Amino acid sequence: MYPSKILLFGEYSILLNSNALSIPFNRFKGELTFRDADTGKKLKEQIRSNQILKDLLTFTKSGNIKKNLKYSFDFITFEKDLEEGLYFRSDIPEESGLGSSGALVAAIFSKYTDIKASDIDFLKIRESLGLFESFYHGSSSGIDPFVSYLQKPVIIKNGVLSALSILTVEESLRKSGMFLICCKQKGKTSELVNIFKNKCNSGPEYSDEIIKKYIPVNDECVRLLTNKYNKHRFFSAIRKITLLQEEIFNEMIPGMLLPLINYGLENDLFYLKLCGSGGGGYFLGFTKNILKTENYFKEMGYQILVY
């Protein structure tokens, strides 16, 4: 089983060389299996998944992708299994920011790639996974499938990829009252990434603001969660992140979420931020009072997932 993921910090800013921290989220998972004789909606989902995998196979066999893979991939067995009804059985919400495509890619890569113990190279694995996932998003850093593949927290610091102990990060997150809230609409990662890239390419002002104002706070959050956690400093940084995202990433925040974000800020109760590309799906929250926060969202018609 391959878990969903949560990109805690580094959304968009990683494209401008910020640090990033992503963790596996075992609340949702998926696995490769074969179609059964069930009927109805379940069978339709199996057929749909099987067709998507066939499209992925066709895409991956194209010249540039196949040529640039860092490891040998068993296309013959993959194609044979697809004809026999292989599909990805998953409860990971799609277009939600929780890495449904990443978990699928991790499962495929693990099953059909033979990586010898002597040739385990994080960078090579991440790049290969990114080539597969580019089928879904146009381009991919490979981080999402890498987290699902490794099933460990991953930190990118000064451009270097490292795995962390899940226990260390989990302890800090629980002290921070982390939760997820679904905004009840789906997001389109590729469209939002294009918006971000276009704004960066339109002139230096936008990227300079991210580099000078946003990235230092982002990197401070990563540092606090992974090394010498300090609750007061973390919540101070999270508040800044929320305010800066409203300003810098406003296109990525659905309008219906803004009153909730502002309520949390004004009442110093919780702070919401992007969970991945945004635009829809799940958003990430941190609170000093999880019960009061949970009650607030319940009154507003939302159910939160407490980490």
pTM of the model: 0.90
Range name among 42-46, 203-207, 230-234 with the lowest pLDDT average: 42-46
pLDDT of 254 reads: 92
Reading the block at residue 218, the tokens are: 């982002």
Please say if the pLDDT value at position 136 is more than 70.
Answer: yes
Measured distance CA(242)–CA(247) in Å, rounded: 9
Cα–Cα distance list, 97 to 103, 190, 191 (Å)? 12, 12, 14
DSSP 134-173: HHHHSS--SHHHHHHHHTS-EEEETTEEEE--HHHHHHHH
Q: Is 159 left (phi over 0), alpha (psi -120 to 50) or beta?
A: left
Please say if the pLDDT value at position 38 is more than 80.
Answer: no
Report the chain's mean pLDDT, rounded to a whole number: 91
pLDDT of 56 reads: 93
Predicted confidence band at 39 (pLDDT cuts at 50, 70, 90)? low
pLDDT tens-place string over residues 230-256: 999 999 999 999 999 999 999 999 999
Measured distance CA(283)–CA(276) in Å, rounded: 8
Measured distance CA(50)–CA(251) in Å, rounded: 34
Could you tell me the domains of the chain?
Answer: 2-163 (3.30.230), 170-300 (3.30.70.890)
Measured distance CA(261)–CA(287) in Å, rounded: 12
Spell out the alpha helix ranges (H) of the chain.
41-60, 63-68, 75-83, 100-112, 122-137, 143-150, 166-175, 189-201, 204-209, 215-226, 231-248, 258-266, 290-299
Nearest to 132 by CA among 150, 112, 108, 156: 108
Predicted confidence band at 41 (pLDDT cuts at 50, 70, 90)? low
Give the Cα-Cα-Cα angle 18, 216, 6 (nearest 5 degrees): 50
Q: What does the pLDDT average to over 269-295?
A: 95
Reading the block at residue 124, the tokens are: 């090579």
Please report, rounded to a whole number, the percentage of residues in the chain having pLDDT higher than 90.
69
pLDDT tens-place string over residues 47-103: 999 999 999 999 998 878 888 888 999 999 999 999 999 999 999 998 888 999 999
Reading the block at residue 235, the tokens are: 């919540």
Of 179 and 141, the one with more pLDDT: 179
Measured distance CA(104)–CA(228) in Å, rounded: 34
Adjacent-strand bridge partners of 31:
89
Q: Is residue 56 within 8 Å of residue 65, measured between CB atoms? A: no
Measured distance CA(278)–CA(281) in Å, rounded: 7
